[in-house]
Structure 1
Amino acid sequence: MVPTSSPEKAFTRSLLDVLIRAGLIAVLVLFCFEIFSPFRDLMLWSLIMAITLYPLQQRLRGPLGHKEGLIATLIVLFAIVVLMVPVYLLGTSLVDSIDQARTIVKDGNFHIPPPVDSVAAWPLVGKPISAIWLQASTDLPELTAKYLPQIKQFSIGFLGKLAGVGMGFLTFIFALIIAGIFMAYGESGTRSAIQIASRISGPGKGPKIAELCTATIRAVALGVVGIAFIQMLLVGLGFVVKGVPGAGLLALAVLLLGIMQLPATLITVPVIAYVFATEGASTASIVFAIYVFVAGLVDNVLKPLLLGRGVDVPMPVVLIGALGGMVTSGILGLFIGPVVLAVGYQLFWQWVEDQPQNRPDVSPTL
């Protein structure tokens, strides 16, 4: 047997030490991730809101002094009040709409008119729709019993979606409170973000990357989520005042369409048509139609003002982020997805465009 030399022993021992340390670090990281994963979305959303609202805190330092905790608390309380009032109105409207529907069905006053003859002439789906519609107008209980499993499955899924929306709203409130804590330590948080970015990408690029992430988060949060929320409030207020059935759900649909970069007219135009069909062309219905139609187009005015600030994020990136976030994380993913994907997009292109200058030409050797 040939004895192993001292340098080989030292190298083997060093390699073994490195492997053991790497294994222990990997195990520690996995345990930390497993413990932190239930709070991942909450903390991420809190960080997004803190970065978005921090400029407001900086502006309030002059009138309110440099009491960071007090300013952050006032901002959070005001935001919760602003959120609770419209949500309460929309929720009340939704409950009233459901009670009215139950009352109509229980009293037996619910009647579906028979289909017009032109429905059967629709291509492909005209005859089946006309047959089901005709049966619903003549024998609704029999039709309900026939499709009872499908109705039950749809109802369970719908209630699950509503429960998910409620949990998403509660998560949003908790995230807002945590965001207030982050804002209270905003200066130290900024320094920590720069230190982390500098440790990852070097001291020369760290501050630029931290600034890029901050600007992207604010641009997307204000230009996409903020505009969609403002649009939901304006349109939902009109629905509630007019007494449109299901105003809460319709306003929520306007919010989702706004985040997914789809026009709110997909909701407002059918609602306007419904109001004219049920109430006629009265002064109130005309004023309602003008208000709701203009409120549905307010994003065209606000996007150039808000989304154009900071960094330029293409709309397809925002749309893909919203759809992907909705699929992976539900209602909360609609907010987180566009921001995360936009930050990743900007960082990727910064890496692509950051080509080394004056690189010497080296011919390949065989």
Structure 2
Amino acid sequence: MLRSTEKTTSRELLDVLIRAGLITVLVVACYTIFYPFLGLMLWSLILAVTLYPLNTRLAARLNHRQGRAALIIVLIGLLLLMLPLALLGGSIVDSVQQGKHLLDSGGLHIPPPAPAVAGWPLIGEPLYKFWLHASSDMSWLLHQALPHVQGVAKVVLTKLAGAGMGLMIFVIALIIAGLIMAHGDKGSATAQAIASRISGPVRGSQLAELCTSTIRAVAQGVVGIAFIQMLLVGVGLVLMGIPGAGLLALAVLLLGIMQLPVALITLPVIAYVFAFDGVSVATVVFAIWTFIAGMVDNVLKPLLLGRGVSVPMPVVLIGALGGMVANGIIGLFIGPVVLAVGYKLFMSWVYQAEEVVSPVPVDKIDPQEPRVS
């Protein structure tokens, strides 16, 4: 009888191991097949979660037709994305043609520096000499810069190729996000069911809501702030007549999204304005405006980044920065979600332990209940 029980137990254990092995093989195979589309689907989910409140409000005005509302949002998004790119492309083509014309006609030259440049501390005198030599001998400047330009050009072309691929992925992700929003109710119910299956009916619903609110908070607190900075800095650049104001404003937007200091753009622009236009009321006002616009994220980030999220703002901020360092732009959204969920689970575990060992309050003790002496 004992041997029969041992054989049955061994057979059940073997069945469990075989099933676990087959499930592992199936999971690995599914992940390998799905991996090339992982980034695309993550972007699609992030866009869908971010834009779904707008889709809901628009659908309410269209007799609750979520599909039509999603189509309108996708078309508007594509239009807002393609129109600046078309204008930017046209501006780049015009600039290249003008540069080619200047090279062919021999009209390309650098204006001599202002005498005030020589008075700048530390770098003023060598910069003035280099600038003056370059303005009088263009061939010498090209000869000096050519070895450095070749390496930089390779890096720039590589980055542009990566940016082009990223833009194409973003467009496809926006279209897929529209399909997800068109079936938003089913998607929300599915997410709730998955979270409830993993963490239980109560905590699962809380975690699903936490992930949703975190993604939206990061979208508002990172992308929204970067867009505000681009508008503020761009207005100053256009009013001051800075060459390439559109490209510089776009660079401000990219730096803001990548959580890099916008001062990398604003400080050289301020120096350029003082070097060519001198010190005047207009240049001082422009410098103050541009400097404040570049630092506005330090004020807006604490206000917007943690809004609507039931975890402290530093947790979301650290998750955004750490996720971006680890996984690039997509980590900017994944990092806060993972860190917020981990923080929530950890604090729930901490306070649950306190609830288990907490004594019963005196006013809750029934005087008729027998006590054990």
TM-score normalized with structure 2 length: 0.77
C-alpha contact (below 8 Å) 1:213/1:343 kept by paired residues? yes
1:338 pairs, out of 291, 316, 332, with 332
1:156 pairs, out of 154, 157, 161, with 154
- 1:13 is displaced (CA, Å) by 2.3
1:50 pairs, out of 30, 48, 51, with 48
Q: How does 1:256-295 map to 2 (within 5 A)?
A: 256-262=254-260, 264-275=262-273, 277-278=275-276
Figure out how many residues of one structure are paired with residues of the other and give that number: 351
Letter in 2 for 1:337: G
Q: Structure 1 residue 13 and structure 2 residue 7: aligned?
A: no
Q: Give the distance between the partners of 1:121 and 1:63, measured in 2 at CA.
A: 63
C-alpha contact (below 8 Å) 2:315/2:336 kept by paired residues? no
Q: Give the distance between the partners of 2:137 and 2:17, measured in 1 at CA.
A: 74
Q: Which piece of structure 1 moves more, 58-67 or 233-242?
A: 233-242
1:90 pairs, out of 81, 88, 91, with 88
- Give the secondary-structure state (helix, strand or coil) at the position aligned to 1:65: coil
The alpha-carbon distance between structure 1 residues 120 and 228, as it changes in their structure 2 partners (threshold 3 A), is closer
Q: Give the distance between the partners of 2:79 and 2:27, measured in 1 at CA.
A: 39
Letter in 1 for 2:307: R
Higher Cα radius of gyration: 2
Q: Give the distance between the partners of 1:319 and 1:104, measured in 2 at CA.
A: 49
Letter in 2 for 1:306: L
- Give the secondary-structure state (helix, strand or coil) at the position aligned to 1:110: coil
- 1:153 is displaced (CA, Å) by 1.9
Q: Give the distance between the partners of 1:144 and 1:323, measured in 2 at CA.
A: 41
Q: Structure 1 residue 232 and structure 2 residue 230: aligned?
A: yes
C-alpha contact (below 8 Å) 1:197/1:209 kept by paired residues? yes
- Please name the residue that 2:32 is paired with: 34
The alpha-carbon distance between structure 1 residues 238 and 74, as it changes in their structure 2 partners (threshold 3 A), is farther
Runs of 5+ consecutive residues of structure 1 not aligned to the other structure: 362-366
1:202 pairs, out of 190, 200, 203, with 200
- Please name the residue that 2:347 is paired with: 353
- 1:57 is displaced (CA, Å) by 1.7
Letter in 2 for 1:314: M
C-alpha contact (below 8 Å) 2:315/2:340 kept by paired residues? no
Identity %: 53
C-alpha contact (below 8 Å) 1:232/1:255 kept by paired residues? yes
Cα RMSD (Å) of the superposition? 3.9
Q: Structure 1 residue 174 and structure 2 residue 172: aligned?
A: yes
- Please name the residue that 1:325 is paired with: 324
Q: Give the distance between the partners of 1:144 and 1:326, measured in 2 at CA.
A: 36
1:60 pairs, out of 58, 61, 64, with 58
Q: Which piece of structure 1 moves more, 291-300 or 41-50?
A: 291-300
- Please name the residue that 1:111 is paired with: 110
The alpha-carbon distance between structure 1 residues 320 and 91, as it changes in their structure 2 partners (threshold 3 A), is farther
- 1:303 is displaced (CA, Å) by 4.2
The alpha-carbon distance between structure 1 residues 258 and 52, as it changes in their structure 2 partners (threshold 3 A), is same
Q: Which piece of structure 1 moves more, 243-252 or 214-223?
A: 243-252
Q: Give the distance between the partners of 2:194 and 2:15, measured in 1 at CA.
A: 27
Q: Which has the higher contact order (CA 8 A, sep 6+)?
A: 1
Q: Give the distance between the partners of 2:348 and 2:319, measured in 1 at CA.
A: 25
- 1:117 is displaced (CA, Å) by 5.7
The alpha-carbon distance between structure 1 residues 11 and 130, as it changes in their structure 2 partners (threshold 3 A), is farther
- 1:144 is displaced (CA, Å) by 4.2
The alpha-carbon distance between structure 1 residues 234 and 81, as it changes in their structure 2 partners (threshold 3 A), is farther
- Please name the residue that 2:74 is paired with: 76
The alpha-carbon distance between structure 1 residues 242 and 113, as it changes in their structure 2 partners (threshold 3 A), is closer
Q: Structure 1 residue 25 and structure 2 residue 23: aligned?
A: yes
- 1:96 is displaced (CA, Å) by 3.5
C-alpha contact (below 8 Å) 1:268/1:292 kept by paired residues? yes
Letter in 2 for 1:190: S
Runs of 5+ consecutive residues of structure 2 not aligned to the other structure: 359-373
- Please name the residue that 2:364 is paired with: none
Letter in 2 for 1:271: V
Q: Give the distance between the partners of 2:35 and 2:150, measured in 1 at CA.
A: 34
Letter in 1 for 2:5: P
Q: Give the distance between the partners of 1:157 and 1:164, measured in 2 at CA.
A: 11
- Give the secondary-structure state (helix, strand or coil) at the position aligned to 1:354: helix
Q: Give the distance between the partners of 1:270 and 1:140, measured in 2 at CA.
A: 23
Q: Give the distance between the partners of 2:318 and 2:341, measured in 1 at CA.
A: 18
Letter in 2 for 1:193: A
Q: Give the distance between the partners of 2:93 and 2:212, measured in 1 at CA.
A: 40
Q: Give the distance between the partners of 2:118 and 2:278, measured in 1 at CA.
A: 24
C-alpha contact (below 8 Å) 1:259/1:322 kept by paired residues? no
- Give the secondary-structure state (helix, strand or coil) at the position aligned to 1:111: coil
- Give the secondary-structure state (helix, strand or coil) at the position aligned to 1:250: helix
- Cα displacement string for residues 287-334 of structure 1 (whole angstroms, at most 9, x for unaligned residues): 977875675466467546533421155358536634753664xxxx32
C-alpha contact (below 8 Å) 1:93/1:240 kept by paired residues? no
- Cα displacement string for residues 264-290 of structure 1 (whole angstroms, at most 9, x for unaligned residues): 354235324434544568999789778
- 1:350 is displaced (CA, Å) by 1.1
- Cα displacement string for residues 36-87 of structure 1 (whole angstroms, at most 9, x for unaligned residues): 1111111111111111111112222332111110011111112222223333
Q: Give the distance between the partners of 2:159 and 2:250, measured in 1 at CA.
A: 12
